[in-house]
Amino acid sequence: MSYQSFAFLLFSAVTLILYYISGRHGQKWVLAAANLFFFVSAGAKYLPYLAVTALVTYLGALCIGRVYKKADEKLAAAETQPEKKEIRKKAKSKAKCFLLLSMLVAVGLLAYCKYAGFFTENLNRVLLHFGVPQIETFKTVLPIGISFYTFMALSYILDVYWKRYTAEKNPLTYAVYLSYFPHVVQGPIDRFNEFKEQIKDGVKLSYRNITFGAQLTLWGFFKKLVIADRLGIVVDKVIAGYADYDGIIVILALLLYSIQIYADFSGCIDIVSGISEMFGIKLRRNFNHPYFSRTMAEFWRRWHISLQEWFKDYIYYPVSASALTKKVKKFFKKRSMKRAEELFSSCFPILVVWLITGIWHGAAWKFVVWGLFHAALLIGSLVFEPVFKFFTRILHLDTDNFGWRFIQMARTFLLCCVGRIFFRADSLAHGTALIKKMVTDTTPAVLAYFDFTSFGFSWKMIFVLCAALLVLLVGDILQENISVRETLAKSNLVFRWSIMLLGLIAVIIFGVYGPGYDAASFIYEQF
Amino acid sequence: MEELKKMLEEKYPAIDFDSEKSLVTDGILDSIEVVTIISEIEDMFDISVTMEYIAPQYFESVETMWGMIEELQ
């Protein structure tokens, strides 16, 4: 059941009605049943993977909580500091055992489903090189949402281990969190404590939640069906048949791909966040108009925010605080290499984070290259920061004027597009071929006489696409400065409903639903 | 606490540590700066900042950072 299908809307509507008539105590049960139905409709074979991850992390967290509780009781009775230290040390190492065991199962399942094939494929290449017999390649299924619910489960058990909150006793609450149908397929990667806080006392039906949710969902459908799916037709054609096009058309296709993936992914998040808002549950913010970013670091604070925050909290900080990092920093410190010490403590965790980010997106070398590209950009900006500052000072650049900000935004957008060559390509070799095409076979004059209707659009449809892109741009500029939904809510009834109806009509008339193009797949569904 | 405030002001002169009370939530300090501050705190007060304390609430202001240092000491 894809998020933009009619079946999903019907399913959400029925769940919503049952949710509000079931009362405070029945709401969790309704959500649990809806999540189960959603998973079974995607394929019952995926359910055991989710069940094992949920059960193991739930029990693991309970055990950790029990270890801490017992330790607290012993600490209250202990009198001397060495005695207390010993109790804490023992509790920590016991809790760590439960943590590692739970993580091993959850990460192991993810690794098996997502990376076993990739691993054996690459191992076979090495074996072939040394003339050793090949091993059979693993054939695994990729359970729906596994990358997302595994990360949510890990965040929960790590937070309990780090004593950020206590372990949940009610298995229903935890199961609802992990399998919640609006966030389980493509995120956002929510945190348990924030989620629980919103459902613990039940949710009252509110006009505001319903209308605000509906508006956000409609905006998401507009981005997905009118913009992303239409751009997708052009991008897919050019990238697959790049050899038949001039390099400048390939460059154009990659620029359009950056807009497509933004409209697609943020559109999906708006749809699910809107639906969830109708249930009175606010999901984590996942996008904050990333293409207005002036630097790559800022871009990654505005794009797929919940994933970046997950990596920051559970990879970046732990790596920064790890024994290895501390040891290397000490090495530099002893030699009075302050700059090297600072750079290492920032750059090493960035490298680790981006290697994992790349691999998380898919079991393919192209994602590793994409991750390393971004690591290089972020590390480069840190290493050369004093140089940039020096030139800014001696050239008396006003970094806050609009012109400079615009140049920075354009530069960041173009760097993103470069990275996305490998992200969009079918393989590393395909990505390299695309770069070669763009560098060696580009004639900008082709744009003047290229027949854009050859993609199967009439000029009228191209005009619709340009108008929709303008609406997206204006919408994003407005959202950057004001809350559009709050402003709409304060406007008069006729204007408010006219906007809603116009949006609905635009989605119905101009959305891409045609046969021959799979309107059902979101780009991030595959991750 | 004055020692901590002096270090922060020297490192980040553009930030007003007297008035800012949501340094992480408001995005005034990013993750790289938080890691740098942790490093400085560890050196200055001879403590080890463990993962339990690497959370936004401990880095929102000079006061919350000082509270964390006191707990760790």
A447 in the same domain as A509: yes
pLDDT of residue A196: 94
Phi, psi (5° rounding) for residue A509? -80, -45
Range of the domain at A507: 206-283+423-527
Phi, psi (5° rounding) for residue A51? -60, -45
A377 in the same domain as A360: yes
- Reference A527, options A357, A352, A360; nearest CA is A360
DSSP A223-242: IIIIIIHHHHHHHHHHHHTG
- Reference B62, options B47, B3, B44; nearest CA is B3
Average confidence (pLDDT) per 10 residues, chain A, 527 residues: 84 94 90 93 89 96 95 87 87 93 95 87 85 79 90 96 92 95 91 93 90 93 91 90 90 94 94 95 93 92 93 91 86 85 88 93 90 94 88 84 91 93 91 91 85 82 90 90 85 86 85 57 59
A166 in the same domain as A218: no
Alpha-carbon distances, residue A54 vs A58, A191, A301 (angstroms) = 6, 14, 29
> Whole-angstrom Cα distance, residue A506 to residue A233?
19
Judging contacts by C-beta atoms under 8 Å, the chain B residues touching residue A157 are: none
> Whole-angstrom Cα distance, residue A453 to residue A462?
8
pLDDT of residue A517: 45
What angle, rounded to 10 degrees, do the helices at A171-179 and A146-161 form? 140
pLDDT in tens, A244-291: 888 899 999 999 999 999 999 999 999 999 999 999 999 999 999 999
Question: Is A317 in Cβ contact with B30 (below 8 Å)?
Answer: no
In a domain, A403, yes or no: no
A59 in the same domain as A31: yes
Spell out the long-range contacts of A504-509 with Cβ–Cβ below 8 A and sequence spacing 24 or more: A504/A218, A506/A222, A506/A226, A506/A468, A507/A218, A507/A221, A507/A222, A507/A225, A507/A226
Q: Based on the structure, what is the number of domains in chain A?
A: 3
pLDDT of residue B61: 93
> How many Å lie between the alpha carbon of A163 and the closest alpha carbon of chain B?
6
Question: Is B36 in Cβ contact with A342 (below 8 Å)?
Answer: yes
Work out how many CB contacts closer than 8 A connect A with B: 41
Contact status, residue A50 vs residue A149, Cβ threshold 8 Å:
yes
What string of pLDDT tens digits covers the 73 residues of chain B? 888 999 898 888 888 888 888 998 888 888 888 888 998 898 888 888 888 888 888 999 999 999 999 888 7
Contact status, residue A420 vs residue A254, Cβ threshold 8 Å:
yes
In a domain, A409, yes or no: no
Examine residue B56 and say whether the peptide bond preceding it is cis (omega within 30 degrees of 0): no
- E-assigned strand segments in A454-500: none
Contact status, residue A16 vs residue A34, Cβ threshold 8 Å:
no
To test the contact with chain B by mutation, choose from A191, A317, A345, A350 the residue with the greatest count of B C-beta atoms within 10 A, namely A317
Interface of chain A toward chain B, CB-CB under 8 angstroms: 162-164, 297, 301, 312-313, 316-318, 320-321, 329, 333, 341-342, 345-346, 349, 382
> Whole-angstrom Cα distance, residue A331 to residue A144?
45
Judging contacts by C-beta atoms under 8 Å, the chain B residues touching residue A333 are: 43
> Whole-angstrom Cα distance, residue A427 to residue A366?
6
In a domain, A168, yes or no: yes
A308 in the same domain as A231: no
A179 in the same domain as A54: yes
Question: Is B27 in Cβ contact with A301 (below 8 Å)?
Answer: yes
Judging contacts by C-beta atoms under 8 Å, the chain B residues touching residue A162 are: 51-52, 55
In a domain, A415, yes or no: no
A333 in the same domain as A365: yes
What angle, rounded to 10 degrees, do the helices at A247-278 and A229-240 form? 150
* A-proximal residues of B, 4-23, CB under 8 Å: none
pTM: 0.87
Phi-psi region of A459 (alpha: psi -120 to 50; beta: other; left: phi over 0): alpha
> How many Å lie between the alpha carbon of B1 and the closest alpha carbon of chain A?
23
A362 in the same domain as A236: no
Alpha-carbon distances, residue A222 vs A299, A322, A488, A515, A522 (angstroms) = 23, 45, 17, 19, 14
Judging contacts by C-beta atoms under 8 Å, the chain B residues touching residue A302 are: none
- Count, residues in chain A: 527
pLDDT of residue A518: 46
pLDDT of residue A121: 83
> How many Å lie between the alpha carbon of B71 and the closest alpha carbon of chain A?
14
Neighbour tally for A308: CB within 10 Å: 20
A169 in the same domain as A38: yes
pLDDT of residue B67: 92
A435 in the same domain as A488: yes
Chain A residue closest in CA terms to B34: A317
A277 in the same domain as A310: no
Question: Is A349 in Cβ contact with B27 (below 8 Å)?
Answer: no
- Reference A366, options A425, A308, A433, A418; nearest CA is A425
> How many Å lie between the alpha carbon of A310 and the closest alpha carbon of chain B?
12
> Whole-angstrom Cα distance, residue A159 to residue A64?
11
In a domain, A407, yes or no: no
Residue A456, both tokens? 């199967």
To test the contact with chain B by mutation, choose from A68, A305, A320 the residue with the greatest count of B C-beta atoms within 10 A, namely A320
> Whole-angstrom Cα distance, residue B18 to residue A439?
53
Among residues A205, A239, A263, the one where a domain terminates is A205
Q: Based on the structure, what is the number of domains in chain B?
A: 1
In a domain, A112, yes or no: yes
In a domain, A80, yes or no: yes
A309 in the same domain as A278: no
In a domain, A213, yes or no: yes
**CATH number, domain containing residue B25:** 1.10.1200.10
First-to-last C-alpha distance (Å) of chain B = 13
Range of the domain at B31: 2-72
**DSSP assignment, residue A285?**
P
Q: Which amino acid is at A142?
A: L
Contact status, residue B27 vs residue A301, Cβ threshold 8 Å:
yes
- Count, residues in chain B: 73
Contact status, residue A177 vs residue A194, Cβ threshold 8 Å:
no
